[in-house]
């Protein structure tokens, strides 16, 4: 099975712009979660989508949004970029939602490195 | 609270055992996980343990869980240079999401 893929791998944007990142989960996985990884804050949960519905959201401003399509592919969007949004954005897929009982095994993509100048 | 803490750095010699420690605060955690991150890559799920277990062994990896003290450890036997990476523990707590620790950088020296 192919793993989780994320595009693009690297991105440079200017403050004030908006950006869209894409994630294709492992075939058959219906849950996609997004995380932001920075040296200062570590790994922080952004949101989880399951069957096209946002199931959970982390403590991020409304500039961060996402969606999931019927084929489980997901996109996240960041509007009005700030310097502090520079980070590695990781997507993870799982067969089940975190709301299900069970182990909730997440499989991560390689990430998109976003640099805001 | 949802803080998950790890020591920042661990250095071992090739062939020795490595023990990476983690403490968490959410007593409702049902599953605890260990992930590995190599430079420029995403996180790789290594193993996980259900909260009603106290030990799980998977080849060179041994996970110990002390639920009373909210302490989790990962032992890597016969550590190799390919084990050099950042190791994250994570808990599936009451918030229905994974909360990750701060990460421990493991350096394996020859």
Please state, in angstroms and rounded to a whole number, the distance separating the CA atoms of residues A29 and A72.
7
Tell me whether residues B45 and A98 touch, CB distance under 8 A: no
The H or E element that residue A65 is part of is strand A64-68
Residue A109 with chain B: CB contacts under 8 Å: 42
> A58 Cβ partners below 8 Å, 6+ apart?
A44, A45, A46, A47, B97
| Pairing status of strand B104-109 against strand B9-13 | parallel
Please state, in angstroms and rounded to a whole number, the distance separating the CA atoms of residues B70 and B106.
22
Count contacts between A and B (CB, < 8 Å).
Answer: 53
Tokens of A37: 């990884």
- pLDDT of amino acid B94: 75
- pLDDT of amino acid B1: 44
pLDDT tens for residues B68-109?
999 999 999 999 999 999 999 999 887 788 899 999 999 999
Inform me whether the pLDDT recorded for A102 exceeds 50.
Answer: yes
Tokens of B71: 């302490």
Task: Give phi and psi for B2, each to the nearest 5.
Answer: -125, 30
Count of helices and strands (H, E) across chain B: 0, 11
User: Which residue numbers of B have CB closer than 8 Å to A's CBs?
Assistant: 31, 35, 40-45, 48, 50, 88, 92, 95-103
Task: Provide the β-strand partners of residue A47.
Answer: A34, A57
Q: In this complex, is the C-beta atom of A85 within 8 Å of any C-beta atom belonging to chain B? A: no
Quote the percentage of chain B above a pLDDT of 70.
Answer: 98
Tell me whether residues B43 and A92 touch, CB distance under 8 A: yes
pLDDT tens for residues A23-77?
999 999 999 999 999 998 999 999 999 999 999 999 999 999 999 999 999 999 9
Q: Which residue of A has its CA nearest to B88?
A: A43
């Amino acid at each position: 099975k192919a793993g989780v893929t994320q595009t693009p791998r690297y991105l440079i944007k200017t403050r004030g712009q908006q950006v869209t990142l894409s994630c294709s989960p492992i075939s058959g996985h219906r849950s996609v979660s997004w995380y932001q990884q920075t040296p200062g804050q570590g790994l922080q949960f952004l949101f989880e989508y399951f069957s096209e519905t946002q199931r959970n959201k982390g403590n991020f401003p409304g500039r961060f949004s996402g969606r999931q399509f019927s084929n489980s592919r997901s996109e996240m969007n960041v509007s009005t970029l700030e310097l502090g949004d520079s980070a590695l954005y990781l997507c993870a897929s799982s067969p089940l939602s975190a709301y299900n009982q069970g182990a909730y095994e997440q499989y991560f993509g390689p990430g998109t490195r976003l640099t805001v100048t | 609270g949802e803080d998950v803490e790890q020591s920042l750095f661990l250095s071992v010699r090739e062939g020795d055992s490595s023990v990476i420690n983690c403490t968490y605060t959410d007593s409702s955690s049902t599953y605890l996980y260990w992930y590995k991150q190599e430079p420029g890559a995403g996180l790789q799920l290594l193993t996980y343990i259900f909260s009603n277990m106290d030990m799980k062994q998977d080849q060179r990896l041994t996970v110990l869980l002390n639920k009373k003290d909210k302490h989790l450890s990962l032992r890597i036997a016969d550590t190799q240079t390919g084990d050099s990476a950042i190791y994250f523990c994570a808990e599936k707590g009451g918030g229905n999401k994974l909360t990750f620790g701060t990460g421990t950088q493991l350096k394996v020296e020859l």
